[in-house]
Amino acid sequence: MTERDPNRPDLTPAEPDATSSAGPVGAAGGTASTDAPTVAWTRPASGSADEATQRMPAAEPVRPSGGRNRGRWAAALLVTALIAAAGIAAVFFLTGQAAPSTVVGYAPRGSVVYGELRLDLPGDQRQKLGQFLAKFPGFADQSTLEVKLDDVLDRVVRAVSEDRQDWSTKIKPWFGGELGFSIGALPPPDAPEQARVLLIASVTDTAKARAWFDEVTADLPRSGDQNGVTLFGEGSPKGAMAVADNRVMLVGDEASVRAAIDSKGNSDFKADERFKTALAAAEGDSLGYTYLDLRTYVDWAAGLTESLGGAPMPLLGLTRDLTPEWMLLRLQARGDAIAFEAVNPHSAISAADANRASSLAEQVPPSTFLLLDAHDYGATLRELIARVRQDPSTAEAFEQVDQALGIVGGEEGILGWMGDAGIAIARDADAGLHGGLVFRPTDREDAERLLTTLRSFVSLGGAQAGVTVRDETYNGTTITVIDLGDFQDLAAGAGQMPPGLELPEGRLEVVYTATDDVVVIGIGQSFVRAVLDAGPGASLADEPRYQQALERVGRENLASFYFDVTAVREMVETLGSTDPAAFAQYERDVKPYLLPLDAMVQATVLEGELDRTISIITVK
């Protein structure tokens, strides 16, 4: 076994004590939920990742040096957030029944950012998250999950707090499971001290919560308590802390804390139209979300540059058009997947205005493990360029650009033929990889005209450097090969290479071809040939894994991304097996955590006037 860095906490859950009195995972003091599957604990086989788990030795506490901490009150916010955040994961399984949000009602009116972690796992989230984690080492037995997470979080909190705090006895006894944060109304440019930040944590024991906060901030100067609000820090503004309504701990600037207390948990923020619209766009329960008022931020940033005596923000109108009014980001457990979701109003600058299935997946080989696919890419770029041209400040720059691009057909010649565009990487027959750029042409002749023009420039300009251009025929299709030279010779000419970098043998060739269905540009001939070989019944679009993954996020979409994690892991393992010692360590310490990961897939789908982007990581 290789030695582990003693200063790095081991996060693998230790095997639970069979005699532990801890009950099944559920709400504190309640009965166990039977939603999640229960699998009996089995001691891992010798050499597994779980066997390597050891109790982290207590670190030698680092005591503060003499004198008062001169950090402003923001330091206290950071300490509080770090230690509280370290306990987030444990609460995922410590509570079960959903409850209305306690903390959102304390968010200040005019907040431009509001985030919330529903650590009480509303609805089906407790069950779904348990099913997801059960695929990983140490989490199969749901009945002992609380014990294992307590152990892990104790190690994390000790590491973060320099061994002065722990999860089980310091945080867990008072933390109610809901954590919110807000950035309030943005300050005037000439008054940055009016910035508003607030952290809101639900509490179950106000006395213990206050005692914990006092302990964490003991090194900060205090101004005493004023009507239940503790002020700390130096200068102005000061930080403040209070426990309000016996329900929440409030930590932030003094104005935000006092406003939250006065709101009695019923602030006007919940009635904000953009916030309400964003929340209404979310479907189902989630682990947490963050709301961003982007329009307010852009307007504030524009005023900031002018108030400071600078020039107006360049391309302000375009920036407003490109930036959605608001965005909602969510995290959701789905049993065999974790999903990240972003919802926002549809972009005003996009030629992709209808959902459809990928045209590129039909053109790339079935061994493709990565495909990035953007629909109507050429038209979208041209629309964006047209909007930039409308700004008078860009006229001179575009005049120079147009002159330079005129020799290759200008903007129309470069982008006019371009439909869908993407990047594809696939496994080749030799267990290596190859890839390149793929396009769906709207006009093959225009695409060939551009490629022919570029070929002429390469032939003329590269001859003295030994660059050659030739045509070959593959199954009746002409392939153009630009030979840049031998890899080793090119490396020698480039100077000293980074240590450990080994270049392949052979020649560096850029290869391209164009057909009615696809334009492909790749490194080496194998990828271009694989694309030409692909077609109905023999493409990525015909692969069940790809089909099933896209169905999870939207088979018909505006853009998508697919990454086959299993295929890449297997390919890397084949290459890595040449170093037996390193491979043995990988199989023992890393592979058990990678083995459950199956694929990553993302798609942006137009839903009425909204764009919904869903990214998922699936396990098996």
The answer, yes or no, to whether residue 70 has pLDDT greater than 80, is: no
d(CA 218, CA 80): 12
- How confident is the model over 90-114, as pLDDT tens digits? 343 333 333 468 899 999 999 999 9
Top-confidence residue, 129 or 313? 129
- How confident is the model over 557-610, as pLDDT tens digits? 999 999 999 999 998 888 766 778 888 899 999 999 999 999 999 999 999 999
- The count of residues in the chain is 620
- How confident is the model over 135-166, as pLDDT tens digits? 999 888 877 767 777 787 789 889 988 888 88
The pLDDT value given to residue 496? 63
Among the ranges given (45-59, 106-120, 216-230, 418-432), the one the predictor scored with the smallest mean pLDDT: 45-59
Task: Determine the Cα angle at 452 with ends 450 and 453, to 5°.
Answer: 65
The answer, yes or no, to whether residue 323 has pLDDT greater than 50, is: yes
pLDDT grade, residue 283 (50/70/90)?
confident
pLDDT grade, residue 87 (50/70/90)?
very low
Numbers of helices and strands, H then E, in the chain: 19, 20
For residue 392, whether the previous peptide bond is cis, meaning omega lies within 30 degrees of 0, is no
Q: What is the 3-state secondary structure (H, E, C) of 347-413?
A: CCCCCCCCCECCCCCCCCCCCEEEEEEECCHHHHHHHHHHHHHCCHHHHHHHHHHHHHHHHHCHHHH
Whose tokens are 């009996």? That residue is 40
Sorted by where each begins, the domain ranges of the chain are: 73-121+164-282, 336-494+504-619
What average pLDDT score do residues 444-461 get? 93
Residues 6+ apart with CB under 8 A from 237: 73, 193, 194, 253, 254, 255
What pairs with residue 618 in β-bridges? 337, 599
Top-confidence residue, 235 or 70? 235
Q: What is the mean pLDDT of the chain?
A: 82
The pLDDT value given to residue 498? 64
What average pLDDT score do residues 297-321 get? 79
- How confident is the model over 354-380, as pLDDT tens digits? 999 999 999 999 999 999 999 999 999
Contact indicator for 158, 11 with CB cutoff of 8 Å: no
- How confident is the model over 178-202, as pLDDT tens digits? 999 999 989 887 788 889 999 999 9
The pLDDT value given to residue 329? 98
Task: Report how far apart, in Å, the C-alpha atoms of 571 and of each of 367, 425, 530 are.
Answer: 12, 13, 18
Among the ranges given (120-129, 288-297, 534-543), the one the predictor scored with the smallest mean pLDDT: 120-129
The pLDDT value given to residue 175? 92
What average pLDDT score do residues 499-521 get? 86
Percent of the chain past pLDDT 90, that is, above it, reads 53
The answer, yes or no, to whether residue 340 has pLDDT greater than 80, is: yes
Between helices 377-389 and 395-405, what is the axis angle to 10°? 140
Contact indicator for 419, 517 with CB cutoff of 8 Å: no
Q: Euclidean distance between the first and final Cα of the chain, in Å?
A: 28
The pLDDT value given to residue 230? 85
Task: Report how far apart, in Å, the C-alpha atoms of 1 and of each of 9, 447, 589 are.
Answer: 17, 57, 9
* Other residues' Cβ atoms within 10 Å of the Cβ of residue 243: 22
